Amino acid sequence: MTVPRTITIDGPAASGKSTIGALLAERLGYLYFDTGVMYRAATWAALDHGIDIADEAAVSRLAEELVIRVTPPTVNDGRQYTVYADDVDITWEIRSPEVTRNVSPVSAYGGVRTALTEQQRRIAGQGAVVMVGRDIGTVVLPEADLKIYLDATVETRAMRRHLENVARGNASDYDQVLEDMRRRDQIDSTRAIAPLRPADDAIIIDTTGLGIEEVLAKIGTLVQR
């Protein structure tokens, strides 16, 4: 049996990518890398610098200059990793509602994607990696050994994100989260560069109504094949 060395997990927001990807990587002894945190870090930095999110050129320049590092957790507060932007720990800041509302337009900018995709490919080059995002199987690692695409209804995904916000002590309104989720889906799936879609050879798993262990079991079967 040959175990896949590079595994990609793509899908829309709150489809379960991060949770499943982290647990799968842990069980395989692989590196877990959520590429979405890089786009969130760039978005946070733009907001922090007072840059207009609509200014594509300025946001892209910032992404090219920004030093983003993702390390194993440095604090035992439930985080899956620690994210640094120019040596500042922004692990929880990048999960703020403001960043969530603005990350899709930032991630649609060609200059931002080019700058961050290069970093992602270097990280994946060592193998033994579970890489999570929205265009990993289609653009970043089109030759990956195993490609998974997780999906769920937008209502299910919005409820997951709402409960996640509440659990972290953040103010959250389900209807607003649902509206933001639908808007983000629209932007992500229709952008000109690297739109959100399953790779032609990806295995699609609908996580609506499935528990974490059920999804992991399905993927485990694919890994063993």
Query: Where are the domains positioned within the chain?
Result: 6-211
Fold of 6-211: Rossmann fold (3.40.50)
**CB–CB of 201/145 below 8 Å?**
no
DSSP one-letter code for 76: S
DSSP per-residue letters across 99-131:
HHHHHHHHHT-HHHHHHHHHHHHHHHTTS-EEE
Predicted model pTM: 0.82
Residue 1 has pLDDT above 80, yes or no: no
Q: Residue 89: which H helix or E strand, with range?
A: strand 88-89
- Residues 5-58: tens digit of each pLDDT: 999 999 999 999 999 999 999 999 998 989 989 999 999 999 999 999 999 999
Residue 124 has pLDDT above 80, yes or no: yes
